[in-house]
Amino acid sequence: MVVAIQSRLLDDEDRQRGDIPGWVLITIMAAGLVSVLYGVARDQLSTILTNALNSVTKG
């Protein structure tokens, strides 16, 4: 009976752990996507930010 309870508790811990490798993969893919988009649109993003900051400081 003790063994059955222990195995049941261990099974619950494994289920509650979640899909850690999946979340790591999603995080890495998101970081890669942001890096690629920033590399492609760096000049445009810089211009947008500069214009926005200039409109706030001048207005």
Residue 14: band (very low, low, confident or very high) from pLDDT cuts 50, 70, 90: low
Residue 44 sits at the vertex; the CA angle it makes with 59 and 53, to the nearest 5 degrees, is 20
Structure tokens at 48: 């947008």
pLDDT of residue 19: 76
Sign, Cα dihedral of 49, 52, 55, 56: negative
**Range scoring the smallest mean pLDDT among 12-16, 19-23, 32-36, 37-41:** 12-16
Residue 48: band (very low, low, confident or very high) from pLDDT cuts 50, 70, 90: very high
Determine if the pTM surpasses 0.85: no
What are the domain boundaries of the chain?
Answer: 19-59
